Structure 1
Amino acid sequence: MLELQDISVVFHPKTINEKVALSHINFRIEDGDFVTIIGSNGAGKSTLFQTISGAVTPYHGHIFLNQQDITSLKEHKRSRFIGRLFQDPLKGTAPSLTIAENLALAGCQGHYFHLRPILAKQRQQMYMALKELNLGLEERMDTKVGVLSGGQRQALSLLMATYAKPQLLLLDEHTAALDPQTASKVLELTAKIVKKYHMTTLMVTHNMQDALTYGQKIMIMKEGQIIDVIDRERKKDLTVEQLIHLYSSKTHDYNDRILL
């Protein structure tokens, strides 16, 4: 479904400020896989997502999605089949537009967006989609998104990222800025939507329990490299304590905040 072949990302190459952000990344995930990614700050997790989504151009290597080489495809064109959710709830929505208008924007799939009256059939589809969030947003479709709480906005961002049924979903610590109760709710919604639409998903998290609960596979990154992939069989009986021990033995980083 998604394959990265020898991907390297170098910022400011051949200068005194040269930094290798990703180094010879090779991995492949199958259709419907849910992979969680763990690693310390600076491990390359966000750069990996930026490279897959097209925000960063790789210095070397190729990216394939459904056997199509998308390495040179622009970010806005990739957004037609790649959904992405950020850590900051403010990033995924347009605060000056209503909930309904934001969903109309999400439905454009990277095409030019022109704000026009929303048809009754569209509103009904939006109503049913919002109702699944179980947050009462279906009754507030004409409310400006800017007045919603962080949790409500992130839940709406999740719906927007998956509204057009993308082939690939990238979740970049999408619950990190939320309180524990709201984060748990958004994660439950995430799992529900991913399962319902059989969405291939990559999720970055600093929470070991979430990595175990939601990931079918767990990828460990360090210094721009993938140092281990825990498959379904290895993950099956793994506890949080065992995962922490495995992580610390692989990274040799016993002081990283991820262990807390």
Structure 2
Amino acid sequence: MTVVAFALTAVPAAPVASALPGAQPAGTVSTPPDGPAQAWLVADLDSGQVLGSRDANVPRAPASTIKPLLAMVVLDHLNPNSFARANASHTKVECSCVGLVPGQAYTTSQLLAGLLMVSGNDAANMLADMLGGQRAAVAAMNAKAQSLGARSTRASSPSGLDGPGWETLTTPYDLALIYRQALKYPLIAQIFQAPTASFPGKTLHAQNELLSRYPGDFAGKTGFTDLARKTLVTAAQRNGRRLVVVLMYGSGDLYGQAVDLFDWGFGQPT
């Protein structure tokens, strides 16, 4: 485990980041709590200072925690009020799904709510088609990751699903970069904060349990595949300070680990 400080603006070359241009010393800090996720990171969202990490630069599968990368690409290219009609191909995907109905029209903002609140893989497929198809969407996701400095990230599907011969890879460090930028998009931040949202034929309920379980939590995305195991990225604020916690390759209660890391992080000096 390492406890380091650096700005989330460049990707370190070494397996453990400890010195980057512009890095500031973290000072003496107590050992952060560990937990069931084998790789994790806790950082200040605003300053970029990483307070603590384990294996923060080791590439692993992120599962659905990569979806905000697609959401940014969507908002870079599509009007939130534009709409399209779902077709059967969008629903032919391993779920979790928001439950698209072929022939039904959905706006971009509705699909983003389905993508981020309930991890709809069918919504990811439809948004990819609206961007020109899955190959074009994945290429745009990878270009976006590179532009953010997330150079260890390689998307292979719009949803984060893996398959034979292809897998999506990223690191806790890169996910912190991605979420730091994604939360600057007002619509993404709004969707993450909402406990519920209207959707054609139903009401969506956010899967992020920390919205009600941890005071100050304002964003979160879970993920699971056999390759990724459990993953979680979540953000919270307290007394004007905002932290992000990234957990990868986990089992058991990742929410509990996130709570422990938040409590530890908010107790560290700025």
- TM-score norm. by structure 2 comes to 0.37
Q: Which structure's CA Rg is the greater one?
A: 1
